[in-house]
């Protein structure tokens, strides 16, 4: 797929997929299509403009057309209440195919090669995040926690698998797995159980691409490690002493190789001290799985420790590979800095209650939010005008501030028209073969 018309093509395909959304309405009250409701909601998170739909409704009344139609293919713009009511019964899985389609486009265009790291594998981070919390608003899909005061807190959490890579500024979100009450289970759902469900449901789809899964200490236990290997995934997981006493007792009795490297930060010289040992038991017992362990301690002059962490992996560790293995897992923080935190604090308002509903509305809107980041990643990688524009703006916030203002006051008949207007306003030379 060429960059020309990429946005329109993906939105058009998205709209086609949305025509299959289940519609619970009966009778003749079907003025708005389900796809119009979903695309209207998506336009809000894509543009990071909470009032985008109301702006476009006013534009349509005043000018006879709107960017909800020209950019996002919304034929009739529903009210906010209509959007919430129509989407509440829809499960997030209804739009998972769009994630898969975009991943296929990125694969076809050779972009996965740019995400390969240690041992020529793709790095897939598993991480959970909470995106809603209230003591009053709740639904059947909420998890709960009791505070010391006796107050019940209702919340929503989700495991957000994301492809990352050292030196790569973009992240590639995959379909999420929501932490929700499970039928037939007395215990409350948790992040670890949700991660296992995701692996069982989607592992076979991604394992042919040669993947290394990254995760924190929560995941570094034998049942999950065995599941990862059974799904043909590699792993690099944080391995803390307090939760792996048997492993660290084994380290104390062994001669542990050490590698020391000096690195200049541009201001100060730091010392990177790596320690590693292959084939140590992950837990107590004869059936304990053997893993390979490594540790990094970063110090500055006068002995100040600025970083220390340790990891368990199935990758074989040597003097030559230990730094790459550690770097791969340290990239795990991109899922927070460039995915979850971006969704929460950089304008996407993942934690904002756009609508909670009684069934699936909260998780469906969260899925659209995650999907919008994947759209922007796709555009950054394959839409030359988009990438050119973003490279000439000082911050992510500047881009969305400009997008918000322009689409409120001016009408653009296409995505390409909007990008061209912004580039010409910046007096950026547009290469003749750029669309």
* pLDDT given at position 122: 98
Q: At what angle do helices 34-47 and 6-18 cross, to 10 degrees?
A: 140
Q: What is the mean pLDDT of residues 76-90?
A: 93
Distance linking the first and last C-alpha atoms of the chain: 13
d(CA 57, CA 44): 13
Distance CA 111, CA 114 (A): 5
How much is the pLDDT for 25? 82
Angle between the 222-230 and 191-206 helix axes, to the nearest 10 degrees? 20
Does the structure show a pLDDT above 80 at 338? no
Chain position carrying tokens 């893993």: 291
Rounded Cα distance between 357 and 362, Å, is: 7
**Parallel, antiparallel or unpaired: strands 152-159 and 177-179:** antiparallel
Domains of the chain (ranges; CATH) run 6-92+347-425 (no CATH), 93-341 (3.90.350.10)
66 φ, ψ (degrees, to nearest 5): -155, 160
Lowest mean pLDDT among 78-82, 214-218, 281-285, 297-301: 78-82
Closest C-alpha among 378, 333, 295, 347 to residue 49: 347
d(CA 188, CA 202): 22
Q: Per-residue confidence at 348, pLDDT binned at 50, 70, 90?
A: very low
Q: What pLDDT is attached to residue 234?
A: 98
Average pLDDT, the chain: 91
Above pLDDT 70, what percent of the chain?
A: 92
Q: In the structure, what pLDDT confidence band is assigned to residue 435 with cuts at 50, 70 and 90?
A: low
Q: Note the pLDDT of residue 187.
A: 74
The C-alpha R_g of the chain, in whole angstroms, comes to: 24
Q: What pLDDT is attached to residue 30?
A: 72
Is residue 341 over pLDDT 60?
Answer: no
CB 119 within 8 A of CB 315: yes
Q: What is the pLDDT of residue 343?
A: 44
- Using DSSP's 3-state secondary structure scheme, residue 132 falls into strand
pLDDT attached to residue 185 = 63
The pLDDT value given to residue 182? 80
b (16+ CB within 10 A) / e for 228-247: beebebbbbbbbeeeebeeb
For residues 409 and 35, give the distance between their C-alpha atoms in angstroms, rounded to a whole number: 25
- Which is higher by pLDDT, 309 or 188? 309
Structure tokens at 209: 């691409």
pLDDT at position 347 is: 44
pLDDT band at residue 280 under the 50/70/90 scheme: very high
For strands 211-215 and 234-238, give the pairing.
parallel
Residue 96 to residues 17, 40, 102, 378, Cα–Cα distance (Å): 10, 18, 10, 16
Q: Model confidence at 415, in pLDDT bands (50, 70, 90)? A: very high
Asked whether residue 431 carries a pLDDT value surpassing 90, the answer given is: no
Section 30-39 average pLDDT: 90
Q: Tokens at residue 191, please?
A: 């992040």
Q: How many CB atoms lie within 10 A of CB 94?
A: 20
The tens digit of pLDDT for each residue in 106-117 reads: 999 999 999 999
Instruction: Say yes or no to pLDDT of 346 above 80.
Output: no
Q: What is the pLDDT of residue 188?
A: 83
Q: Is the confidence at residue 206, as pLDDT, over 90?
A: yes
Please state the rounded mean pLDDT for residues 131-155. 89
The string of pLDDT tens digits covering residues 159-175 is 999 999 998 888 999 99
Q: What average pLDDT does the segment 176-182 reach? A: 91
Asked if 103 and 153 count as a contact pair (C-beta separation under 8 A), the reply is no
Is-contact 274 298, C-beta < 8 A?
no
């Amino acid at each position: 797929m060429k960059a020309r018309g990429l946005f329109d093509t993906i939105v058009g395909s998205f709209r086609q997929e949305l025509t299959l959304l289940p519609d619970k309405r009966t009778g003749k009250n079907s003025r708005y299509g389900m796809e119009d409701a979903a695309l209207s909601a998506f336009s809000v998170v894509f543009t990071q403009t909470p009032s985008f739909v109301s702006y476009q409704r006013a534009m349509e009344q005043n000018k006879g057309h709107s960017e909800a139609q020209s950019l996002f293919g919304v034929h009739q713009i529903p009210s906010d209440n209509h959007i919430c009511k129509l989407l509440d019964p829809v499960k997030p899985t209804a739009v998972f195919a769009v994630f898969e389609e975009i991943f296929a486009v990125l694969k076809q265009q050779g972009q996965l090669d740019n995400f390969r790291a240690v041992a020529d594998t793709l790095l897939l981070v598993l991480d959970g995040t909470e995106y809603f919390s209230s003591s009053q608003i709740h639904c059947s899909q909420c998890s709960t926690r009791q505070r010391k005061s006796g107050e019940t807190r209702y919340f929503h959490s989700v495991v957000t698998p994301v492809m990352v890579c050292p030196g790569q500024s973009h992240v590639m979100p995959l379909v999420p797995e929501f932490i929700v009450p499970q039928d037939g289970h007395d215990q409350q759902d948790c992040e670890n159980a949700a991660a296992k469900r995701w692996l069982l449901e989607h592992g076979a789809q991604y394992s042919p691409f040669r993947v290394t899964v990254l995760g924190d200490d929560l995941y570094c236990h034998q049942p999950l490690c065995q599941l990862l290997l059974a799904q043909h995934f590699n792993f690099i997981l944080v391995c803390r002493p307090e939760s792996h006493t048997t492993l660290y007792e084994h380290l104390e009795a062994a001669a542990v190789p050490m590698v020391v490297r000096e690195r200049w930060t541009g201001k100060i010289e730091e010392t990177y001290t790596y320690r590693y040992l292959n084939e140590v038991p992950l837990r107590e017992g004869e059936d304990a799985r053997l893993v390979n362990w490594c540790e990094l301690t970063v110090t500055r002059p006068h002995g100040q420790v600025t970083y220390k962490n340790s990891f368990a992996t199935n990758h074989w560790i040597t003097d030559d590979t230990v730094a790459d293995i550690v770097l791969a897992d340290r990239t795990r923080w991109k899922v927070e800095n460039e995915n979850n935190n971006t969704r929460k604090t950089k304008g996407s308002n993942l934690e904002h209650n756009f609508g909670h509903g009684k069934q699936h509305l909260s998780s469906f809107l969260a899925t659209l939010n995650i999907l919008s980041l994947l759209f922007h990643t796709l555009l950054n990688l394959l839409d030359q005008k988009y990438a050119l524009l973003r490279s000439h703006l000082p911050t992510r916030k500047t881009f969305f501030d400009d997008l918000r203002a322009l689409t409120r006051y001016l009408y653009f008949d296409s995505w390409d028209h909007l990008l061209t207007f912004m580039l010409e306003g910046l007096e950026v030379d547009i290469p003749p073969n750029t669309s």
